[in-house]
Amino acid sequence: MKEKNKSKTKKISKDSSSKDRYFGIVLEDIDSKFQQIKEGQEVIKKETEEFRRETREELRFLTMGQKVLSDKIEDLKTKLILHEEQNGKDFKVIFEYLSKIDKELEHIQKSDLSRLPILETRVAQLEKKIK
């Protein structure tokens, strides 16, 4: 009976040894797959950090450009307001001058019309003398 126990022990020991090897292989395979996942995650992390850095740089650049454009717009607004004020004053002066000219023309026309009969009479007298 002792021999039967010994053969069983050898068989169990062979079975457990092959099971241990099998589980060792499976564990090594799982470990290598976890290692691949870890390496992939590290690559993704590096790429994400690089993307963030580039995005921050671009955002700083855009913010600076926006500030420059905003300043230029404000400068143009100020210039436009000054230009409008100056043009308004200029147009006011021009309209006042044209109004004076209109009044003078009306005065000249009225005074010339009132003198017209007198001038016609004098021209008629001169024509008589010449004939």
In a domain, 128, yes or no: no
Task: Give the whole-angstrom CA distance, residue 89 versus residue 4.
Answer: 124
Into how many domains does the chain fold? 1
Q: Read off the pTM.
A: 0.43
In a domain, 124, yes or no: no
In a domain, 110, yes or no: no
pLDDT tens for residues 20-72?
888 889 999 999 999 999 999 999 999 999 999 999 999 999 999 999 999 99
- Residue 21 in 3-state DSSP? helix
Domain that holds residue 21: 1-101
- Residue 70 in 3-state DSSP? helix
In a domain, 17, yes or no: yes
